[in-house]
Chains A and B, each alone.
Chain A
Amino acid sequence: MRNFVERHTFWAFVILVSVAVFLWMIFAIWPEWLIDGLGRKKTFVKTFLNGVTLGGLYFLVASGFTLVFGLMRNVNLAHGSMYLLGAYIGYEVAELSGNWFLGLAIAFLAIAASGVLLQVLVFRRMEGDDLRQTLVTIGISIIAADLMLATWTGTTYQFTPPDWLYGATQLPIISVIKSSGTAVYIKYPVYRLMVLLVAITVGLGLWLFLNRTKIGMMIRAGVNDREMLAASGVNVQLVFALVFAIGAGLAGFAGVIGGTALSIAPGEDVRYLLASLVVVIVGGLGSVSGAAIGALLIGLAEQFGLAYFPTYGVVLTFLIMVVVLAVRPQGLMGGR
């Protein structure tokens, strides 16, 4: 961070000021002119929180995607299908066993296993041919989407999270002061806060894994130079399989988490695949911290777009992507 401040002092200053303004807007009571201009504080704060929590969900989905690309140069366009399949599997398990956490765990393991199978049986044979691998993933996603449609039909499925996760909680943020003088606090769904918490935990976990363990070191080395990694005697195929397992598993895991927040239906696979694409293009392919920043940016853009200009809000995220590509093609944190 010090490096960043030193090299880009102007931008660091801008970011600092924006963060300060944001924090003031959230914690202070709004004066009349601000309410007239921007609408109610409740809308703003809730939209902001929605954006941050949605960003957390996008990070969960995109981190697996960027990890797989970073190491294996494989743009896994079946990532969305893995998300959806994880959600369906998690749903079935949770319904059968009555335990939501069990569904979560099985979804992670099942999709991780599928990832390993794909890597070992299919992608290994196409080493070096990035384009062909990508085309294979497209084919897999087409078939998977159709088979899932056949199995689970077009109905929407809703998870039943444990009771203590359901409902809204009061946050220590004041919305308005009523004329009687009492403060009205902002209520926010517990579940979405939990999504944010999980995303932060997973992010920290990934960071620790990549930066503080031996395997993580190997992965980072492989991202930089695959041939050297193999030359230094590491079983590269094992590392690849492990990374694909983690990447796919994260997708399935995110499927259950996201599915509980926003229900599962056909078409979610394309939606989350596109979100991952935009997030990693903005954040930089291969960079987990880039995925975090990109996810936050895209989540905020999407929610603010939806709340304040719903007609073109959907296009806003793509607009950001185009701007980033025009200015800095490798993404905000991308190295290459």
Chain B
Amino acid sequence: MDTRALFSGSTSLSNIHPAIIVTAVFLLAYPSFASDFFIFQIGAYSLILGTIALSLMMLAGYGGMVSLAQLTAAGMAGYLVAILGENSVGVMGLGWPWWLTVVSAVLGAAIFSAFVGAISVRTEGIYTIMITLAIAVAFFYFVRQNYVLFNGFTGFAGVEPPTLFGVYWRDPTPFYYLSLVIAGGFVWAVFYASRSTFGLSLQAIRDNPRRMRALGYNVTLHRVAAYFFSGLIAGTAGVLLVWFNGRISPGSVGVDVVIDILVIAVVGGMRHPVGPFLGAIAFVLLENFAIDLIDRERFNTVIGIAFLLVVLFSPDGLLGIWNRIRSKIRFGRSGQQGASRRTGDDRQSAESSDNVKTQEEV
């Protein structure tokens, strides 16, 4: 079984189309029937985590580079917001206007991500996980030890979004809509980019870098550019994250959270930009309600088992399970027709990626 099955960037658009409308209506109307807690801590938080996981999915699914430094880029943006804007700790807090702070933070995260990319893309694919993990940990140690810029172990508190047009954007409903617009925007952007020239060349580079180099494409530049774009996504999510928590500290960018993002992306499914959000919702619900239903202490074991099961049996994650259930429903109990449906998917995906002729590697 080859890697592409795990990370195939091609999508089965006609499969999901009707569901998009239903989902969109549900998401827009959500605050009307959900409690504040659900809007804020479940809804908005899932959207934020999903966006960070989306940046990972974009790099891994379309670029074949599993970067564990996406959360680090988000954390970088969060820290920059605290440093350049206002905070209640009395360290840094330069007091720049909010729009300048946000733009600088997102750009800072993107540049950081590009830097990470520049270091890791000259090595083989599998090295990327190791290198980005090491960088994520190095960042964690650095912000924990440095007090001048990052206020070390204590971190920053009192970071708030501005009050615009008379709306305090940290109230549950406005914040939810803000996260929804941003998440939706990025999903559309990633989807669109995957079909653009850049996206297609990126996927081609994922499948066969040597050929692309022979064709004259600058493979390294493409990859670093992909890192830059994913840094923009992660950075924006990072700004939302620091506004959500109202604080940021080394614990926000530690190893556990880094692995959580990977789990979210993989469990949700890396085939389609919607996958990470499914993973995020499942993760957030489990995190909040596991204590009421099962022993909260073994939360990590449950997450780990879910992750393992997905990687072993359903590489497309929740999205893959959903697709399979739907094909079963559509064709009744006829497993064979379900199987032919799946091959139909492959054929369809083979057709859609026909623009750049990729070939099965021996």
Give A residues with C-beta under 8 Å from B: 73, 75, 77, 122, 126, 128-132, 134-136, 138-140, 142-143, 145-147, 150, 270, 274, 277-278, 281, 285, 311-312, 314-315, 318-319, 321-322, 325-326, 329-330, 336
Q: Find out whether the CB atom of A143 lies under 8 angstroms from the CB atom of B66.
A: no
Q: Per-residue CB proximity of B10-38 to A under 8 Å, as 1/0?
A: 00000000000000000000000000000
Ranked 9 nearest A-B pairs via Cβ? A142-B304, A318-B138, A139-B308, A143-B304, A146-B300, A146-B301, A329-B122, A139-B307, A314-B141
CB <8 Å contact, A135 and B311 = yes
**Which chain A positions have C-beta within 8 A of B189?**
none
Given contacts A132-B3, A140-B308, A146-B298, contact A277 B130 (CB under 8 A): yes
Identify the closest chain B residue to A144 (Cβ). Answer: B304
CA A5 – CA B312 in complex, angstroms?
A: 49
Q: For the A-B complex with A142-B303, A325-B122 known, give 20 more contacts whose Cβ atoms are closer than 8 Å.
A: A75-B129, A75-B130, A128-B1, A130-B126, A131-B125, A132-B1, A132-B3, A138-B262, A139-B311, A146-B301, A277-B130, A281-B131, A285-B127, A314-B141, A315-B141, A318-B137, A318-B138, A321-B134, A321-B138, A326-B119
The docked-state distance in angstroms from the alpha carbon of A274 to that of B315 is 26
Residues of B within 8 A of A (CB): 1-3, 6-7, 66, 119-120, 122-127, 129-131, 133-135, 137-138, 141-142, 145-146, 255, 259, 262-263, 266, 297-298, 300-301, 303-305, 307-308, 311-312, 315
Q: Say what secondary structure dominates the interface of chain B.
A: helix
Select which of A75, A129, A147, A318 is within 8 A of B2 by beta carbon: A129
Distance in angstroms from B271 CB to nearest chain A CB is: 15
**Chain B residues whose C-beta falls within 8 Å of the C-beta of A277 in the assembled complex:** 130, 133-134
Contact in complex: A138, B131 (CB < 8 Å): no
For the complex, what is the distance from the CA of A329 to the CA of B126, rounded to whole Å? 13
Contact: B134 with A142, CB < 8 Å? no
Listed residue (A135, A143, A312, A326) with the most chain B CB atoms within 10 angstroms of its CB: A135
The answer on a CB contact under 8 Å between A311 and B145 is yes
In the complex, what's the smallest C-beta–C-beta distance from B205 to chain A, in angstroms?
16
Asked whether A138 lies within 8 Å of B259 as measured between CB atoms, the reply is yes
Contacts known (A318-B141, A325-B119); A135 close to B266, Cβ less than 8 A: yes
| CB <8 Å contact, B134 and A318 | yes
**Could you list 19 examples of A-B contacts with CB < 8 Å?**
A75-B130, A128-B1, A129-B6, A132-B3, A134-B129, A135-B266, A135-B311, A140-B304, A142-B300, A142-B303, A142-B304, A142-B307, A146-B304, A277-B130, A314-B145, A315-B141, A321-B134, A322-B138, A325-B131
Contacts of A138 in B (CB 8 A): 259, 262, 307
Looking at chain A's contact residues, the main secondary structure is: helix
| Contact between chains at A128 and B262 (CB < 8 Å) | no
| B308 and A143 form a contact (CB under 8 A) | yes
Q: Do A131 and B6 touch across chains, with their CB atoms under 8 A apart?
A: yes
Asked if B315 contacts A325 (CB within 8 A), the reply is no
Cα separation A315 to B259 with both chains bound (whole Å): 21
Question: Residue on B with the closest CB to A145?
Answer: B300
Give chain B residues whose Cβ lies under 8 Å from the Cβ of A325: 119-120, 122-123, 131
Residue from A73, A147, A322, A330 in contact with B301 in the complex, judged by beta carbons closer than 8 Å: A147
Task: Report the Cα distance A135→B145, complex, angstroms.
Answer: 30
| Contact assessment for B125 and A274 in the assembled complex, using a CB-CB cutoff below 8 Å | no
A128→B2 contact, CB < 8 A: yes
**Neighbouring A residues of B308 by C-beta, 8 Å:** 136, 139-140, 143
Instruction: Name the one of A128, A132, A150, A314 contacting B311, with C-beta atoms under 8 angstroms.
Output: A132
A136 touches B311 (CB 8 A): yes
Residue of A nearest to B118 (CB): A326
CB distance from B147 to the nearest CB of A (A): 9
Q: B1 contacts which chain A residues (CB < 8 A)?
A: 126, 128-129, 132
How many angstroms between the C-alpha atoms of A330 and B6 in the bound complex? 26
Q: Is B3 a contact partner of A131 (Cβ separation < 8 A)?
A: yes
A3 CB to closest chain B CB (Å) equals 25
**Across the interface, do B300 and A312 meet the contact criterion of CB distance under 8 Å?**
no
Please name the residue on chain B nearest to A322 by beta carbon: B119
CA distance A312 to B148 in the complex (A): 13
Task: Give chain B residues whose Cβ lies under 8 Å from the Cβ of A146.
Answer: 298, 300-301, 304
Residues of A within 8 A of B66 (CB): 131
Distance to closest chain B CB from A65 (angstroms): 10
Q: Decide: B137 and A73 in contact? CB cutoff 8 A.
A: no
**Can you name the residue of chain B whose Cβ is closest to the Cβ of A334?**
B123
- Determine which of B123, B298, B315 lies in contact with A132 in the assembled complex, contact meaning CB atoms within 8 Å: B315
Q: How far is the CA of A125 from the CA of B141 in the complex (A)?
A: 37
Tell me which residues across on chain A come within 8 A of B133, comparing CB atoms.
Answer: 274, 277
Q: How far is the CB of B197 from chain A (nearest CB, A)?
A: 26
With a cutoff of 8 Å between Cβ atoms, the chain B residues found around residue A278 in the complex are 134
Q: Is the CB of A274 within 8 A of B137?
A: yes
Asked whether A150 lies within 8 Å of B298 as measured between CB atoms, the reply is yes
Chain A: minimal CB distance from B22 (Å): 31
Contact among A136, A140, A274 with B134 in the assembled complex (CB-CB below 8 Å): A274
Give the chain A neighbours of B297 by CB distance below 8 A: 150
A75, A139, A147 — most chain B CB neighbours (10 Å): A139
Considering only CB atoms, which chain B residue lies closest to A139 in the complex? B308
CB-defined contacts of A126 to chain B, threshold 8 Å: 1
Q: A263 CB to closest chain B CB, in angstroms?
A: 20
Q: Which residues of A sit under 8 angstroms from B3, Cβ to Cβ?
A: 129-132
Q: What distance in Å separates the Cβ of B10 from its nearest Cβ neighbour in chain A?
A: 18
Q: Give complex CA distance A139, B304 in Å.
A: 5
Contacts of B127 in A (CB 8 A): 281, 285, 329
| B contact residues around A322 at 8 Å (CB) | 119, 135, 138
Which of A143, A281, A319, A321 has the largest number of chain B CB atoms within 10 A? A143
**Selected contact of A315 from candidates B145, B263, B301, B304, CB within 8 Å:** B145
A216 to chain B, nearest CB (A): 24
Residue in A136, A318, A336 whose CB lies within 8 Å of B312: A136
For B6, B122, B130, the residue with the greatest tally of chain A CB atoms inside 10 Å of its CB is B130
Nearest residue, chain A, Cβ from B260:
A142
- Across the interface, which residues of B come within 8 angstroms of A274, CB to CB? 133-134, 137
Q: Smallest CB–CB gap between A69 and chain B, Å?
A: 8
